[in-house]
């Protein structure tokens, strides 16, 4: 379906607005690198690194609200989990990462910010083999200046041609840089067609998630979301499930096919950057931001600004995958 001119213009304006943002390599402030704070502009990395050439990196996306990083310890736990899944050993535990993030925010003078911890293999080796490779860890924070659309406005999506790899082919429970190439291709394709984002399917043709966020649907006041599988089960997704349960909203974690979309009345995405972003169209199928979406949007905004977190620890491991008729445990599970 071709996007209406009005919607195409809206997406184009968003993309043009992003080009005015200061280059991420030319900002003021500090970056925490391997236990030391360095001026942002002095941090330079070698061209020949395993992280750059082979996608050997993991990262987190976190948001600070009024000086407090929402679910910070869960993000630190997942960073270490992701690093372990890629067999990268870093000499920092959760407490050390927590202290480094807090100090990075303080030294940057930021209260509301995006926080990016990242771990990667360095330049000691240029080989697919990793034994003896050096591993680095950095944390940066910057002001967050991309507000999500108003919940009554929403975004438009299309179906991506690219699909999520299965658990038997990739460590989908790791927030690994290399796994985001597919998402980047899908989002670029969607925006060239005038949409804001793309809905991605798994190898079986079931709905997985968006390019950088999880997805929820509403039917008859009940919440539906794809069951945990070949996609990253986000911290925000788990937050949303708990918020819905706290409000007595029934939740179905189940397989959802593209042909099921017409049976839903509401749709929204969840993620650190997306927060709760309502969706008004997916490939010509329209949704209306309704009572459930608006209630959970408000609940999330309240939760991220609460003085403390009250959520159970985030789940990090996927379900075991099946191969040639036999069940194999996921590495690290």
Q: What is the pLDDT of residue 318?
A: 58
- C-alpha separations of 290 from 148, 202, 220, 226, 264 in Å: 17, 28, 11, 20, 11
Plot region of 248 (φ>0 → left; ψ -120 to 50 → alpha; else → beta): left
59-69: average pLDDT:
97
Q: How confident is the model at residue 2 (pLDDT cuts 50, 70, 90)?
A: very low
Exposed / middle / buried, residue 257 (Cβ in 10 Å: 0-12, 13-18, 19+): exposed
Structure letter (DSSP) for residue 176 = B
Q: Which of 25-29, 83-87, 261-265, 284-288 has the lowest mean pLDDT?
A: 25-29
Q: How confident is the model at residue 181 (pLDDT cuts 50, 70, 90)?
A: very high
| 41: phi then psi, degrees, rounded to nearest 5 | -70, -10
Q: What is the pLDDT of residue 6?
A: 39
Q: What is the pLDDT of residue 147?
A: 74
The percent of residues in the chain predicted with pLDDT above 70, rounded, is 89
Q: Supply the mean pLDDT for the chain.
A: 90
Q: Does residue 5 surpass a pLDDT of 80?
A: no
Q: What distance in Å separates the CA atoms of residue 297 and residue 229, rounded to the nearest whole number?
A: 25
Q: How confident is the model at residue 20 (pLDDT cuts 50, 70, 90)?
A: low
Both tokens assigned to 9: 């213009």
170-191: average pLDDT:
96
What b/e readout covers 4-30, taking b as 16+ CB neighbours within 10 angstroms? eeebbebbeeeeeeeeeeeeeeeeebb
Return the beta strands (E) in 144-288 as ranges.
155-163, 197-201, 207-210, 214-219, 222-226, 251-254, 266-271, 275-282, 285-286
151-165: average pLDDT:
95
Q: What is the pLDDT of residue 150?
A: 86
66-75: average pLDDT:
97
Q: Does residue 19 surpass a pLDDT of 70?
A: no
132-136: average pLDDT:
95
Per the document, the length of the chain is 333
Q: What distance in Å separates the CA atoms of residue 9 and residue 137, rounded to the nearest whole number?
A: 40
Q: What is the pLDDT of residue 145?
A: 78
Q: How confident is the model at residue 249 (pLDDT cuts 50, 70, 90)?
A: very high
Q: How confident is the model at residue 21 (pLDDT cuts 50, 70, 90)?
A: low
Q: Does residue 268 surpass a pLDDT of 70?
A: yes
CB neighbour list of residue 306: distance below 8 Å, 6 or more residues apart: none
Task: Name the residues annotated as catalytic.
Answer: 175
Per-domain residue ranges for the chain?
Answer: 23-143, 155-304
Q: Does residue 50 surpass a pLDDT of 50?
A: yes
Plot region of 267 (φ>0 → left; ψ -120 to 50 → alpha; else → beta): beta
Q: What is the pLDDT of residue 149?
A: 81
CATH pick for 23-143 out of 3.30.70.1230, 3.10.20.740, 3.40.50.720, 3.30.470.10: 3.30.470.10
DSSP assignment of 292-318 equals HHHHHHHHHHHHHTSSS--PPPPP---
- C-alpha separations of 175 from 38, 48, 222 in Å: 25, 22, 29
Question: What stretches of the chain show up as alpha helix (H) in DSSP?
Answer: 5-18, 50-54, 72-85, 94-108, 180-192, 235-246, 291-304
Q: How confident is the model at residue 332 (pLDDT cuts 50, 70, 90)?
A: very low
Q: Which helix (H) or strand (E) holds 177?
A: none
Q: What distance in Å separates the CA atoms of residue 200 and residue 57, rounded to the nearest whole number?
A: 22
Q: Which of 19-23, 45-49, 119-123 has the lowest mean pLDDT?
A: 19-23
CB neighbour list of residue 126: distance below 8 Å, 6 or more residues apart: 48, 50, 53
pLDDT for 198-248, tens place per residue? 999 999 999 999 999 999 999 999 999 999 989 999 999 999 999 999 999
Q: How confident is the model at residue 316 (pLDDT cuts 50, 70, 90)?
A: confident
Q: What distance in Å separates the CA atoms of residue 82 and residue 236, rounded to the nearest whole number?
A: 17
41-50: average pLDDT:
94
The percent of residues in the chain predicted with pLDDT above 90, rounded, is 79
Task: Record the pTM.
Answer: 0.88
Q: How confident is the model at residue 270 (pLDDT cuts 50, 70, 90)?
A: very high
Q: What distance in Å separates the CA atoms of residue 250 and residue 297, rounded to the nearest whole number?
A: 16
Q: What is the pLDDT of residue 243?
A: 98
Specify whether domain 155-304 bears CATH 1.10.10.60. Answer: no
């Amino acid at each position: 379906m071709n996007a209406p001119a009005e919607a195409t213009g809206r997406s184009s304006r968003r993309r043009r607005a992003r080009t005015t943002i200061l280059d991420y390599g030319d900002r003021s402030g500090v970056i925490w690198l391997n236990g030391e704070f360095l001026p942002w502009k002095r941090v330079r990395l070698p061209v020949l690194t395993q992280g750059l050439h082979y996608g050997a990196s993991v990262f987190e996306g976190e948001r600070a609200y009024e000086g407090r990083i929402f679910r910070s310890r869960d993000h630190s736990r997942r960073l270490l989990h992701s690093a372990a899944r890629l067999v990268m050993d870093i000499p920092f535990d959760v407490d050390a990462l927590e202290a480094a993030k807090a100090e990075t925010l303080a030294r940057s003078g930021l209260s509301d910010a995006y926080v990016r911890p990242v771990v990667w293999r360095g330049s000691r080796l240029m080989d697919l083999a990793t034994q003896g490779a050096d591993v680095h860890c950095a944390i940066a924070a910057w002001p967050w200046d991309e507000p999500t659309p108003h919940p009554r406005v929403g975004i438009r999506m299309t179906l991506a041609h690219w699909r999520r790899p299965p658990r038997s082919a990739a460590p989908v429970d790791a927030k690994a840089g290399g796994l985001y190439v597919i998402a980047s291709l899908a989002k670029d394709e969607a925006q060239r067609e005038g949409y804001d984002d793309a809905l991605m399917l798994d190898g079986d043709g079931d709905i997985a998630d968006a390019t950088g966020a999880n997805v929820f649907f509403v039917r008859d006041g009940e919440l539906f979301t794809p069951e945990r599988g070949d996609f990253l089960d986000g911290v925000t997704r788990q937050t949303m499930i708990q918020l819905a349960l706290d409000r007595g909203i029934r939740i179905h974690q189940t397989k959802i096919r593209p042909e099921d979309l017409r049976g839903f009345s509401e749709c929204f995405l969840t993620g650190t950057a997306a927060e709760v972003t309502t969706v008004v169209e997916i490939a010509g199928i329209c949704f209306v931001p309704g009572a459930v979406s608006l209630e959970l949007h408000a609940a999330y905004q309240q939760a991220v600004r609460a003085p403390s977190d009250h959520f159970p620890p985030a789940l990090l491991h996927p379900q075991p995958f099946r191969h040639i008729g036999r069940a194999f445990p996921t590495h690290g599970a």
